[in-house]
Amino acid sequence: MPAQILHLGATVLCSHGAPATPVSTFPRVTLSGQPLVTVANPYSIAGCSSDPPCATGQWTSGATRVTAGGAPVAIFSGQSTSVPNGTPMSPVTAQTRVLAT
Mean model confidence pLDDT for the chain: 97
Helix (H) or strand (E) holding 57: strand 56-59
Mean pLDDT of the region 27-32: 96
d(CA 92, CA 97): 16
Q: What is the pLDDT of residues 39-84, one digit of tens each?
A: 999 999 999 999 999 999 999 999 999 999 999 999 999 999 999 9
d(CA 48, CA 58): 16
Residue 19 has pLDDT above 90, yes or no: yes
Mean pLDDT of the region 7-32: 97
d(CA 73, CA 26): 9
Instruction: Report strand pairing: 99-100 vs 43-45.
Output: unpaired
Say if residues 57 and 83 touch (Cβ distance below 8 Å): yes
Amino acid 1: pLDDT:
87
Helix (H) or strand (E) holding 92: strand 89-93
Phi-psi region of 9 (alpha: psi -120 to 50; beta: other; left: phi over 0): alpha
Domain ranges of the chain: 3-100
Amino acid 45: pLDDT:
98
Decide which of 2.60.200.60, 1.10.10.10, 3.20.20.70, 3.30.410.10 is the CATH code for 3-100.
Answer: 2.60.200.60
% of residues, the chain, pLDDT over 70: 100
